[in-house]
Structure 1
Amino acid sequence: MLDLRVHFLEADGSLAPWREQILADVQSTAERVGGSVSAADGATPVDVIVERRPGETIPELGLSGACYRRGLVTVTLDPDNLNFDTNLARGELRRTLTHELHHSFRHATCGYGFRLGEVLVTEGLADAFDAEINGGDGNPWNHAIAAEDWLGVIEQAELELWADAYNHSTWFFGRNSPGNQLPRWAGYSIGYHLVKTYLAANPDARPSQMTGTPAPEVIGQAWARLKARITAAA
């Protein structure tokens, strides 16, 4: 079982009414993830900050997550959001924590990434890891590109894959600038389907064992396959 050390930040409001559920979800995630990842990934403790920040989460969920280094994951909750209670009850905190823990493990190996191609793989692996641990076929942000838009979006991504700079907010959150219009969550959708394509071509591969898999390996084996499928469907 993973050693997850929970710290509640409640200056912006108490989380007492949900604390029992939160701790149960963290415990469950520690057991599920700890039983799936390598001994090396599971050996280091992770601090888990659980904070309350009104209006600072994914609106559809009432919660969100972040991970910027190996030993620290942040989960942000907004109980004032009308969607929060329903999503907490159906396990969205577990899914969010699972996703962010994959980032944590990856920070200890090849890192989150600085180029679009690297980050597409990192985010795709984290969402595929969530599906491996918690079931289902991804989240709304993994299926956010309309069928008629896929080819144009993936062709634009292909031009930027290995550029020294990319606009993260545009690619992943849909915060567009003039002349650069992308669907909200485009990067998450590309990354998830890219990793799924890789997994289909490598049946023995598991996201839980791919925390150190370099992005060029995934892109090298899966990009052309994914693009060919999209082109055929266009």
Structure 2
Amino acid sequence: MLDLRVHFLEADGAAADRAAPVDVIVERRPGETIPELGLSGACYRRGLVTVTLDPDNPNFAASLANGELRKTLTHELHHSFRHAMCGYGFRLGEVLVTEGLADAFDAEINGGDGNRWNHAIPAEDWLGVIEQAELELWADAYNHSAWFFGWSSHGNPLPRWAGYSIGYHLVKAYLAANPDARPSQMTGTPAPEVIGQAWAHLKIRMTAEA
């Protein structure tokens, strides 16, 4: 017997005087979250955020206690706001900035210095990874799974979460050069502006620490 359940999403049809309405969908999908957390998030367009939970994951309870659900929602909300302003991005450079801003927004709201995926590149690998990214920043296509998740059907030399690490430290370099800037105020800041001002500083700082 068919069990049909219809859920109406309301954010896109909200009145114009309501500021940045967002629908948040919470779903349970065992085995389809970040293994280290037991939860994950996604935002593919403005006004809609999805949070995925796996209560059976052995790390799930600790994640809830540590505020990971709040951090995930904060990250995805920044994506939603940026989708409404300038989009997620289609090129590697654009996506590095979008993801870096979302994680920097999490740090702005919730404190701390990012997440484990923002510190995933070994010091000795930074130069090679940054130089590889430079070659692909504005290419018409890039391998998102390889850069951000370490997935590649052809073998992948990139560290897992490399894109998240580059993006986060890139935005940190931009914020250091622009002390009055805040990720919460940068939902519409173009990626070329961030990369133009911060890339050289990022490369010098991170390779110097190697």
What is the TM-score normalised by the length of structure 2?
Answer: 0.90
Alignment-derived partner of residue 199 in structure 1: 175
How far apart in 2 are the matches of 1:168 and 1:102? 19
Offset from partner CA, 1:24-57 (integer Å, 9 cap, x none): xxxxxxxxxxxxxxxx9x8021100000000000
Structure 1 residues not aligned, in runs of 5+: 1-6, 8-39
Alignment-derived partner of residue 139 in structure 1: 115
Alignment-derived partner of residue 35 in structure 2: 59
Alignment-derived partner of residue 73 in structure 1: 49
1:148 pairs with 2:116:
no
Structure 2 residues not aligned, in runs of 5+: 1-6, 8-15
How far apart in 1 are the matches of 2:145 and 2:37? 19
**Cα distance change on mapping 1:62 and 1:162 into 2, 3 Å:** same
1:178, distance to aligned residue in structure 2 (A): 3.2
Contact 2:41 / 2:52 at 8 angstroms: preserved in 1?
A: yes
1:172 pairs with 2:141:
no
1:231, distance to aligned residue in structure 2 (A): 3.3
How far apart in 2 are the matches of 1:180 and 1:174? 7
CA RMSD of aligned residues (A): 1.4
1:124 pairs with 2:100:
yes
Paired residue type of 1:148: E
Alignment-derived partner of residue 35 in structure 1: none
1:180, distance to aligned residue in structure 2 (A): 4.0
Three-state SS of the structure 2 residue aligned to 1:108 is: helix
Contact 1:176 / 1:182 at 8 angstroms: preserved in 2?
A: no
1:90, distance to aligned residue in structure 2 (A): 1.4
**Cα distance change on mapping 1:81 and 1:212 into 2, 3 Å:** same
How far apart in 2 are the matches of 1:190 and 1:44? 28
Offset from partner CA, 1:101-144 (integer Å, 9 cap, x none): 00000001110000000000000000000000000000000000
Alignment-derived partner of residue 212 in structure 1: 188
How far apart in 1 are the matches of 2:133 and 2:19? 36
1:176, distance to aligned residue in structure 2 (A): 2.8
Three-state SS of the structure 1 residue aligned to 2:40 is: strand
1:183 pairs with 2:159:
yes
